[in-house]
Structure 1
Amino acid sequence: MKMIKIALVDPDRRFAEEIERMLEERTDIELTAPALDLNQALMLIETQHPQVLIIGPGIGSDISTVFVKKLTAEHPIGCIVLTFNLTDRLKVAAIKANVVEAIEVPVEPEKIIAAIQTAAGYAQQLTVKEDVVVSDHKCTVITVFSTKGGVGKTVLSTNIATSIAQRTDYKVVLVDLDLQFGDVGIAMGLSPDRTMLEFADHLVGIDDEKIDELLVKHESGVNVLLAPKNPESADLISGECVGSIMSVLKNYADFIIVDTPASFNDNVLAVLDATDEICIVLTMDMPGVKNIKLCLRTLGDLRYSREKQRLVVNRVESNVGLKVSEIEKVLGMRSIARIESDKAVPLAVNKGVPVVVDAPKLPVSKELEDLALFYVSKYQPDWVDLRKTS
């Protein structure tokens, strides 16, 4: 059993005593001497190297989040912040500051133990991330995202990736980040022989040759990182692990396209932190418009630049009582692409073939290709069209 060393900091010694009582029967957790302020805590971290720091409510949540942000930039440590009042504002601040978990007191022993174990895992992933070599290689990350399910994120992701791979000589990686219910494999006709689980196991010291082995190659030239076979395996991949995977892939590929689940979970936030372009997808219905309006607000609260955000309207129809121009006015954002509704798209998905391959001459395929080439032209303005040179 691997020992987890934790440090505690709070000006009230009773806080440390309470945590010690909660953990007194745990043989896998070692406590350092408690610190009374953040300066003492920093000295403990630098001399005793705990994997986890628990910051008590007496420190103050604002000071705690600022401290954690600076601390985790320099030390591989997982931090837990306890607070008397866990507000939505604090939740957002905690996420941005790399706090593993913010918890309102009083707290049950089971919850604090679970948080300690999660924080220790985070510290381990930070250690792995330190081993990742960063190069000058320029890679563009395009994340296809929506907080509403069923809008066609996977169709856009697979066809954007396929279009770039077919029309250029750039190395393209497609990542299925919907770790529980991802459909990239089905949409591309690929078997999940190798998935993100296997990739995560080989992060330390990984090279391009090993990456080639772990990615699944599609006939279009796209290299695919598939979601795990079983939904329960999703819990084995943390946001920190996803961040490390993205760091590795950015040194390997020229373009990374990420298909996401419909939520702001830790894995999605890790990808958004590494993203150059957020392709926000919606369809022509009022529930979807309302959902995307909230999505845009949340992206703003999380301090993701508006300049990164691009709106794509999918399954455009003229007889649904709603115009694209009306949607754009409500959202305060112009769309960069309008993808028409066409039954050829689900037919292609059911065949396991991207529609740009299955029916390349259809208008919907041209619209998807144009969207892909918009990104190519922006980030690789000197790109060569292989279709014109062949």
Structure 2
Amino acid sequence: MGDTIKLLIADSTYEPDGSFNHILKSEGGIEIVGKVETGDRVVEMSKIIKPDVVLLDAEIEGLDAMEAVRHLLNNDPNVLVVMVFTEKNKTYVKRAMASGARDFLVKPFTVNSLIDTVKSLYELDKSRREALRAETGGKNEEKEAYDFRLPTESKIITLFSTKGGVGKSLIAINLAVSIADKTKKKVALVDLDLMSGDIALMLDLYPKRTIVDMVKDMNGIDKDTLQEYLVHHSSGLSVLPAPISPEQAEYVTSNSLEKIIYILARSYDYIVIDTGPSFKEVNLTALDMSNHILFVTTLDLPSVKSSRVGLDIMKKLNYEDNKVNLILNRYSKKHGISIKDLEKTAKKSILNVIPMDDAIAISSINTGAPFMLNNSRKPIAKKISEISDFIIQGK
């Protein structure tokens, strides 16, 4: 008889009866070792029970399911997560797989479909691990586990907007500089505006490699070779540049970005990501993996309107309210739209208001010198400093 597969169920609406449990064990070799009803609880219980497989409802209460997957894998990179969807929410399958889930079921499902899914997934993973042991003599098992855990001490901050031209990249650069200066820790800045990212240009850097090269060479990258793909700024930042041309954007997928973030998190305490203005799958991966999302907008009418739409989408994506923070950039009383108008329309309070200062901003871009370095006492810099304090203190 084969191994008994330990199954932990995380679903507030699913109640397997005695006969169901008996069939699972007698015909499938699967033992239900626990049942919980919240995302927080499944993370806690998995540490104690150490299941082989977790059956996780996509609509679990408490901690968001996608966040729960990442916590489960951080605790045990070998645990196999099967997500459960309804017909209504199965459009999120791609997000679930990007977050680390290995398979999925759609409700209502039969006991036989559950057995088939769990057993096939378990046997496939078992074969993979046995092959790895045979190939390496068991020496690489620690390394494999290490490679797929996101260090909990690393912080990921993603800047996002549903509209281009709001000054998001300049904020990302100066925020990263401020964090590095205050913490004296290692900060990586990722240009994920794959179609038109200009962070390297704005920092007067001339990279030999970009994020596309890192994707192509993914399997050969480790801590030692990572630096070959980054370009280093005098402020202490390490920058992963955007593709040289827009047609190269297709090389960067959700899965490859997730691996890039894992690799960076091994070496960097803070990862600041500047995205393009869309909810494309690769941006969703960055948003999902982030500790903080800074939603940047301005007070022109199209930006205010798109902010409302974008924040509504983030609510539908089940991002926690305190994870998403609204930043108003280029503020001037002359705009005709008030801060209260924006907050009312967006249905969200503003975390910080950055004043308009075109002279400082343009000079910073044209010289490649972040204004946090040589204009740190200006109001625009002081506001960036406040945001970096917020991030560092983990509020």
TM-score by length of 1: 0.65
- Measured in 2, the distance between the counterparts of 1:368 and 1:181 equals 24
- The match for 1:36 is none
- The match for 1:96 is 95
- Measured in 1, the distance between the counterparts of 2:270 and 2:79 equals 30
> Which of 311, 314, 318 is residue 299 of structure 1 equivalent to?
314
Q: What code does the residue aligned with 2:380 have?
A: V
Which runs of structure 2 are paired with 1:13-162 in the superposition (5 Å)? 91=91, 93-98=92-97, 132-134=147-149, 136=151, 138-162=153-177
Which runs of structure 2 are paired with 1:1-390 in the superposition (5 Å)? 91=91, 93-98=92-97, 132-134=147-149, 136=151, 138-204=153-219, 206-343=221-358, 344-378=360-394
Relative to structure 1, the CA distance from residue 204 to residue 151 in structure 2 (aligned partners, 3 Å threshold; closer, same or farther) is: same
How many residue pairs end up in the alignment? Answer: 286
The C-alpha deviation readout for 1:208-237, integer Å capped at 9, x for no partner, is: 221122211110001111111121111111
Q: How much has 1:98 moved relative to structure 2? A: 3.2
Q: What code does the residue aligned with 1:346 have?
A: I
- Measured in 2, the distance between the counterparts of 1:231 and 1:96 equals 24
- The match for 2:138 is none
- Measured in 1, the distance between the counterparts of 2:374 and 2:245 equals 29
Q: How much has 1:205 moved relative to structure 2? A: 5.4
- Measured in 2, the distance between the counterparts of 1:133 and 1:270 equals 15
Runs of 4+ in 1 over 6 A off after TM superposition: 73-76
- Measured in 2, the distance between the counterparts of 1:235 and 1:269 equals 15
Q: How much has 1:373 moved relative to structure 2? A: 2.0
The C-alpha deviation readout for 1:62-100, integer Å capped at 9, x for no partner, is: xxx99xx99xx9899xxxxxxxx9x9x654x34434399
Q: Is the 8 A contact 2:308 2:347 kept in 1?
A: no
- Measured in 2, the distance between the counterparts of 1:145 and 1:205 equals 30
Relative to structure 1, the CA distance from residue 270 to residue 260 in structure 2 (aligned partners, 3 Å threshold; closer, same or farther) is: same
Relative to structure 1, the CA distance from residue 311 to residue 347 in structure 2 (aligned partners, 3 Å threshold; closer, same or farther) is: same
- Measured in 2, the distance between the counterparts of 1:358 and 1:186 equals 19
Q: Is the 8 A contact 1:134 1:251 kept in 2?
A: no
Q: How much has 1:378 moved relative to structure 2? A: 2.0
Q: Is the 8 A contact 1:161 1:174 kept in 2?
A: yes
Partner SS for 2:333 = coil
Partner SS for 2:219 = coil
Q: How much has 1:131 moved relative to structure 2? A: 8.1
- Measured in 2, the distance between the counterparts of 1:137 and 1:277 equals 14
Q: What code does the residue aligned with 2:282 have?
A: N
Q: Is the 8 A contact 1:310 1:336 kept in 2?
A: yes
Q: Percent identity?
A: 31
The C-alpha deviation readout for 1:282-314, integer Å capped at 9, x for no partner, is: 001221111011101111112222220001000
Q: How much has 1:354 moved relative to structure 2? A: 1.4
- Measured in 1, the distance between the counterparts of 2:329 and 2:336 equals 16
Q: Is the 8 A contact 2:243 2:249 kept in 1?
A: yes
Q: Is the 8 A contact 2:160 2:274 kept in 1?
A: yes
The C-alpha deviation readout for 1:112-133, integer Å capped at 9, x for no partner, is: xxxxxxxxxxxxxxx9x98824
TM-score by length of 2: 0.64
CA RMSD of aligned residues (A): 3.5
- Measured in 2, the distance between the counterparts of 1:135 and 1:274 equals 9
Relative to structure 1, the CA distance from residue 154 to residue 308 in structure 2 (aligned partners, 3 Å threshold; closer, same or farther) is: same
Structure 2: gaps spanning 5 or more residues: 1-23, 29-57, 60-65, 81-86, 103-131, 133-143
Structure 1: gaps spanning 5 or more residues: 1-38, 44-64, 77-84, 101-126, 380-390
Q: What code does the residue aligned with 1:376 have?
A: I
